[in-house]
Structures are given as structure tokens and as C-alpha cells.
Amino acid sequence: MVTLYNPDNMRKERIEQAESILKSLPFKYCFITGSFLFKEKYKDIDLFIITRSKKEINPAKINKKLKITIIDFNDLYSLFYHSVSKSCVAKNILPKRELKATLADYWGIINEAVPTILNQKDRFHKDIRYLILYTEYFRSSQILDTHELNKKISEFKNNSQILDYISKNTPEIITKNANISYIKRFFYTQAGFYKDSSYKAQRLLYELTHSIING
């Protein structure tokens, strides 16, 4: 049985192709999402398989364009899973778990995103998916599907724009979603780890912790 989740923006012919790929797979829970379903031109077919099996899968045997991501059952609570499964063609009804996304996770993502964005210069689009997903979730309580996420990411033309997006949104999000004592305890400690760093990324993170603490 094939299930369509939020198919409004999907291309009809791709739905049929996705169905045929999914039917050929020996997995109970798998789904296809991403540009293959939504855009005329696409690079890969993003296939997600929910399985406990550690067995390696050779995508080329099925379709040369398949890019496989294995999702563990323990990851079903993640924002990543909720996003990729929001609009997709799936084999069977996909399992659902309640979403768990914390501000500490969000800060971990920013902490990693800032140096990555600076290193990648203007080739950062692939590396900001988590950052945008978490920011938009905490900012507007909206989980972006892969189509919406790609659209949002394409709005950023250079790394300064994405760094501005972080400086503008992060302090607002943290102050809106956490109480003052947590903010002071957590971010004063974090600021200490970045203090006196000779690297630009840590200096930016240090400034960010201060604007969060100062509200």
C-alpha cells in the first residue's frame, strides 16, 4: 500500500515513479521525498528507510540516482524525521512519534553551523538545513517539509545573510522559549567556552551569547 502525505506540490508523474521504486523495495517502512517529487530538474532521489537492520544497501542496484538515508526507530521523535516525512510518498502508513526538540539541541546546531558557514563561504546551502529547520520551528512552531525548506534556504544568497538571520532570530527565540534563570545559567557557561578565542566563529558565538543574556 502506498500513502501520499501532503501531495499538493508534487508532480503527478513522479508520484507514479516513486510508487514503483517503493514497491520494489523489501522494506516495510520507506518513503521518497525531496526535489524529485517537486521539481522538474533533480539531482538525486531521496529515499528514506526506517529499519533496525545494519545490512548495507546498494542503491545503484535499484536506481543510480537513489540517495539512501537510514532512519533508526529511535530517531522517529526528531525534527528531521518530522520534516522529511511531512510531504512524501510512503510505503505503508509511516510510524509517528511525538516530536522532541530542545533549545539545547538548537544551540548545539548553531554552535556547529557558525564555523561551518564561515568555512564554506558561499557553498553553505547544504549545511544550513538543520539550522533553518530548528530556527523556523522555534520561531513559528512550523515544521518545514523538504520543499518548504529548500525554498527557504534558496532565499539566502551569501553567508552574511545567513549570519544576520542567526543574529536576528536566535536571541528572540531563546528569550521567548526559556526562562531567565535557565538563560543566564546556560549561556554564561557557554560564553566562557568561547571567551578569548582567536577564531572569528567563536568570537561571533561569544557575541551571540551576550545578546541572548541581555535579551
Partner 1 sequence: MVSPNDFKENIKKHLSQEFSLEFLGDDFDKIVSFISDTQAEKIYSWITQILNKNIQPIVIGSKKQYKDWRVYELLFFRKELNISNTEYRIFFIKVKNSFYIEFHLGKHDYYDKLRKKLDLTKRNY
Q: Which residues bind partner 1 (CB under 8 A)?
A: 69, 71, 75, 78, 80-81, 105, 108-109, 111-112, 114-116, 118-119, 126, 129-130, 189-190, 193-194, 197-202, 205
Toward partner 1, which CB reaches closer, 156 or 194?
194
Chain CA centroid to CA 72, Å: 16
State the minimum distance, in angstroms, from the CB of residue 153 to partner 1. Answer: 11
Residue type for position 215: G
State the minimum distance, in angstroms, from the CB of residue 194 to partner 1. Answer: 7
State the minimum distance, in angstroms, from the CB of residue 87 to partner 1. Answer: 16
Toward partner 1, which CB reaches closer, 183 or 205?
205
Toward partner 1, which CB reaches closer, 29 or 130?
130
Task: With CA atoms as reference, report the closest residue to 53 among 34, 68, 36.
Answer: 68
Q: What are the residues facing 68 on neighbouring strands?
A: 47
Report d(CA 23, CA 19) in Å as an integer.
6
State the minimum distance, in angstroms, from the CB of residue 118 to partner 1. Answer: 5
Toward partner 1, which CB reaches closer, 180 or 188?
188
For residues 110 and 166, the answer to whether their CB atoms sit within 8 Å is yes
For residues 97 and 77, the answer to whether their CB atoms sit within 8 Å is yes
Phi/psi for 101 (5° steps) reads -140, 125
